[in-house]
Amino acid sequence: MRGDISRREFLASTTAAAGTMALRPLSALGQNPSTQPQAPLKPMMKLGCCAYSYRKYLTSGEMKLEDFIDEAARLGLDGIQLTTYYYESTQPSYLHRLKFRAYKLGLDIPDIATRTNFCQKDLEVRIRQAEEMKQWIDAAVELGANGIRVFGGNIPKGATPDEAVDWTVDGLLRALEYAEKRGVILALENHGGVTETADLVLKIRSKINSPNFALLLDTANFRTNTYEEIKKVAPYAVTTHVKTEVFAPDGGKRPVDTERIIRTLAEVGYRGYLHIEYEAEEEPRVAIPRFVAELRATVAKVLGS
């Protein structure tokens, strides 16, 4: 798949290809495949949660990642995103223990999340950042995860947006060399800095032609024109962070319009995870179960299931 096609274009191409690859009844043999219409893939959304949502307990020692996995199972989620900040080790034995625990509880580990800063003027720093990514790429493989959430980074003082984009692209390409060898996707999140706007995110994307590069849509990280910015990035997102709040025009926070976001994703044929990334003030153990129920009901309403 080319790095420059959208989800909608990809779904259209797979639909066309299905006519030639799918097994057809005997009555259809010998007929032109184009006369055998195939139904387009419907949007599909699974519910997940980022370990970061429970950082209050994970950083205090009240919870370990094993406890987070158990909590996700109790919430009836489909999968989890294991944030690397809370790993006790990167040894295979530890990572396998997490993987097996999730598997036995019926949870997927579609991706993990780490902190990166590829927007560096100094080439040596970018090289070092790409080298440091190798441990997390290896960790993803051991966990059976397909992808890793990465950040672009902050724009250095005095740098132009174009310079920042080029430095970020260079750093990502260096990290992707190893990611491609290991079969792991690097999913760039809109997280301020060089990814502050949808246009900057899409500019970075346009310069990277790799099947192992993708975008992670964070619904709360665009500070202005939130829903319009989300609409620009949605066609290219392979996974999503959903939060309970978004930025208001005055710079404050307001409750997220969950249905509007789900409809935006459905319109572009999104098939992937909605990972809850909780950052509000209310107690996470109270707010997260309520938000799970809200998301589940909204997805059912929009997708009709």
Same structural domain, 170 and 211 = yes
Does one domain contain both 16 and 164?
no
Run means of pLDDT, 10 residues per run, the chain, 305 residues: 46 43 36 62 97 98 98 98 98 98 98 98 97 98 98 97 98 98 98 98 98 98 96 98 94 95 98 98 97 98 89
- Specify whether 145 is located in the same domain as 2: no
* Same structural domain, 297 and 262: yes
Residues 212 and 260 in one domain: yes
* DSSP string covering the chain: --TT--HHHHHHHHHHHHHHHS---GGGTTS-GGGS--PPPPPEEEEEEEGGGGHHHHHHTS--HHHHHHHHHHTT-SEEEEEGGG-S---HHHHHHHHHHHHHTT-EEEEEE-------SSHHHHHHHHHHHHHHHHHHHHHT-SEEEE---PPPTT--HHHHHHHHHHHHHHHHHHHHHHT-EEEEE--BTTBSSHHHHHHHHHT---TTEEEEEETT---SSHHHHHHHHGGGEEEEEE-SEEE-TTSSEEE--HHHHHHHHHHTT-EEEEEE---SSS-HHHHHHHHHHHHHHHHHHHHT-
CATH number of the domain that residue 149 is part of: 3.20.20.150
Q: Determine the pLDDT at residue 35.
A: 56
**pLDDT for res 305:** 62
Kindly state whether residues 184 and 266 are assigned to the same domain: yes
Range of the domain at 288: 42-303
The reply to whether 152 and 233 lie within a common domain is: yes
pLDDT at residue 187, rounded to an integer: 98
Same domain, 103 and 218: yes
Q: What is the pLDDT of residue 11?
A: 43
**Per-residue confidence (pLDDT) for residue 40, from 0 to 100:** 82
pTM > 0.75: yes
On whether both 33 and 151 belong to a single domain, the answer is no
* Residue 124 shares a structural domain with residue 14: no
Do 226 and 97 reside in the same domain of the chain?
Answer: yes
**Same structural domain, 149 and 242:** yes
